[in-house]
């Protein structure tokens, strides 16, 4: 097949996405496909090509492969684009996508996981992987997701309040909020902008940071317990993976620096816990109308309650990512996983999902 792997983009998670994209590209090439790995925001820029078609089979730039310890500054990224266009699609991106049998979305976070790229590709008649535009948008919005699943018999989500840090008085928010609390920008990912506040001062600092990241912020009750993630692939849950950071919580550095976090898959847990998370993750998947695959995050308290935190519609495919490890635990290799996602997505698009 001719496949475009879209990655990068103007998202705080662009480096993670470039790493996912590189792995996906390599795996699909190994399986005999003709693959163009394309940075959504830069397109042909910096790739040494003059025609979009030359991106197929172009080498994978070394800079795409490794995730640095900190998320990139997007103002610096913007300033380095040469064509000065306001479009989020870099030069040649839409042309190369139109040449593909399918576009594999290796994008994460805003600009890729939020439904806008999916909507654009729908209008252009170009098939892509994963969920459709509406469910993607709902799933990236942590407040909307929690509202939609609230009250479902299989889903428990921690109490929360959504505030607008750019419009509200931060001291008033801090005064009424019970501590400890987790501060999460509404549409963040990779733990970017996520803070665990134990004191009022920490909360005020976190709210100030949230102001810089758009303002709308979820304040979620802190849950103490063991952390897990569980994928749904083509309607079935995979074995949950336990996440044990060596220090601190599962933040950006602990997610992508090899060895910073111990991951155990299948997790060493009672069957009932696996079943509880599987039922919950499938319920969230179906409630939001997701397609093909997803990965949901949980914390389980000692009494066995599985608290649903959030669901990802384009989960990471990097060397330290969780879905490939869950798939491997049931004998699905990385390349096979990519191909299953592609075939299931072609089916989903035909059904109008
Ligand atoms: N309510 C919570 N209680 C305790 N820890 C949390 C809570 N919510 C999030 N966390 C921690 O923050 C991390 C990131 O939060 P998450 O909701 O998964 O957002 P994202 O991964 O999109 O940045 C989680 O993996 C977990 O370690
Ligand atoms: Mg998460």
Concatenate the DSSP letters of all residues of 34-96 into one string.
EEEEEETTTTTTTTT-SSGGGGBTPPPPGGGT---SSPPPHHHHHHT-SS--S-SSPTTHHHH
User: For residues 10 and 41, is the Cβ–Cβ distance under 8 A?
Assistant: yes
**How does strand 261-264 pair with strand 241-245?**
antiparallel
Distance 57 CA to ligand 1 centre (A): 38
- Is the distance from the beta carbon of residue 140 to the nearest atom of ligand 1 less than 6 Å? no
> Domain 160-221, what fold?
Dna Ligase; domain 1 (3.30.1490)
CA distance 324 to 311: 16
Atom of ligand 1 nearest to the CA of 224: 4
CB 210 within 8 A of CB 193: yes
- Per-residue pLDDT, 188: 82
Cα separation, 191 vs 243, in Å, equals 14
Spans in the chain with pLDDT lower than 70 = none
Name the segment(s) of the chain with CATH classification 3.30.470.20.
140-156+224-350
- On whether the CB atoms of residues 129 and 103 are closer than 8 A, the answer is yes
Q: Which of 194, 225, 241, 322 to mutate to test the pocket of ligand 1 (most atoms within 8 A of CB)?
A: 194
Q: Cα–Cα distance between 16 and 190 in angstroms, integer?
A: 8
Which class in CATH covers the domain with range 2-128?
Answer: alpha beta
Distance 296 CA to ligand 2 centre (A): 7
- The finding on whether 143 has its CB within 6 A of some atom of ligand 1 is no
Q: CA angle at residue 301 from 298 to 305, to 5 degrees?
A: 75
Exposure pattern of 76-96 as b/e (b: 16+ CB <10 Å)?
ebeeebeeeeeebbbbbbbeb
Q: How far is the CA of 196 from the centre of ligand 1 (A)?
A: 9
The pLDDT assigned to 178 comes to 97
- Strand pairing report for 216-221 and 261-264: unpaired
Residue nearest to atom 22 of ligand 1 (CA): 189
DSSP 184-200: EETT--TTTT-EEE-SH
Q: What is the pTM of this model?
A: 0.96
Where, residue-wise, is CATH 3.40.50.20 in the chain?
2-128
Q: Distance, CA 250 to ligand 2 centroid (Å)?
A: 8
**CB-based contact 203:177 (threshold 8 Å):** yes
Q: Can you give the pLDDT at residue 66?
A: 82
Residue of 110, 157, 179, 191 best suited for mutating to test ligand 1, as the one with most atoms within 8 Å of CB: 191
Burial (CB < 10 A; 0-12, 13-18, 19+), residue 62, is exposed
Q: Specify the pLDDT at position 320.
A: 85
Cα distances from 46 to residues 3, 43, 58, 83, 85, in angstroms, run 20, 8, 12, 12, 16
DSSP 213: T
Local structure of 272: helix, strand or coil: helix
Q: Could you tell me where in the chain the CATH 3.30.1490.20 domains are found?
A: 160-221
136 touches ligand 1 (CB under 6 Å): no
Query: Alpha-carbon distance 329 to 239, whole Å?
Result: 7
Distance 209 CA to ligand 2 centre (A): 19
Whether 300 is in the pocket of ligand 1, judged by its Cβ within 6 Å, is no
Q: Which CATH architecture has domain 140-156+224-350?
A: 2-Layer Sandwich (3.30)
Ligand 1 atom at minimum distance from 245 CA? 27
Short-list 64, 53, 49, 84, CA closest to 15: 64
**Strand pairing category for 102-105 and 160-164:** unpaired
Measure the CA–CA gap between 243 and 60, rounded to whole angstroms.
Answer: 30
Proportion of the chain above pLDDT 90, given as a percent? 90
**Residue 104 CA, ligand 1 centroid: distance in Å:** 27
């Amino acid at each position: 097949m001719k496949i475009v792997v879209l990655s990068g983009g103007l998202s705080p998670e662009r480096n993670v996405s470039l790493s996912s994209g590189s792995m996906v590209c390599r795996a699909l090439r190994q399986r005999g496909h003709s693959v163009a790995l394309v940075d959504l925001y830069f397109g042909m820029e910096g790739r040494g090509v003059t025609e979009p078609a030359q991106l197929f089979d172009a080498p994978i730039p070394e800079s795409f492969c490794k995730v640095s310890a900190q998320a990139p500054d997007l103002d610096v990224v913007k300033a380095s684009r040469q064509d000065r266009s306001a479009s989020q699609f870099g030069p040649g991106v839409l042309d190369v996508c139109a040449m593909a049998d399918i576009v594999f979305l290796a994008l994460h976070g805003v600009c890729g996981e939020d439904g806008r790229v999916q909507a654009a590709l729908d209008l252009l008649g170009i098939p892509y992987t994963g969920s459709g535009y509406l469910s993607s948008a709902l799933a990236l919005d942590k407040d909307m997701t929690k509202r939609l699943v609230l009250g479902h018999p299989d889903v428990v989500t921690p109490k929360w309040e959504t505030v607008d840090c750019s419009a509200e008085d931060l001291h008033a928010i801090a005064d009424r909020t019970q501590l400890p609390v987790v501060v999460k920008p509404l549409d963040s990912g990779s733990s970017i902008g996520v803070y665990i506040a134990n004191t009022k001062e920490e909360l005020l600092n976190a709210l100030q940071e949230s102001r810089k990241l758009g303002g709308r912020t979820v304040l979620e009750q802190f849950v103490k317990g063991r952390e897990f993630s569980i994928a749904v692939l083509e309607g079935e849950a995979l074995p949950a993976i336990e996440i044990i950071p060596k220090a601190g919580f599962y933040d950006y550095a602990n997610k992508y620096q090899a060895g910073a976090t111990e991951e155990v898959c299948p997790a060493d847990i009672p069957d009932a816990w696996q079943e509880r998370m599987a039922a919950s993750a499938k319920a969230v998947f179906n409630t939001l109308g997701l397609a093909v695959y997803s990965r949901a995050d949980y914390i389980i308290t000692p009494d066995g309650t599985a608290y649903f935190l959030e669901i990802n519609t384009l989960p990471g495919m990097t060397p330290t990512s969780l879905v490939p490890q869950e798939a491997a635990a049931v004998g699905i290799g990385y390349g096979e996983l990519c191909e299953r996602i592609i075939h299931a997505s072609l089916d989903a698009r035909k059904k109008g999902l």
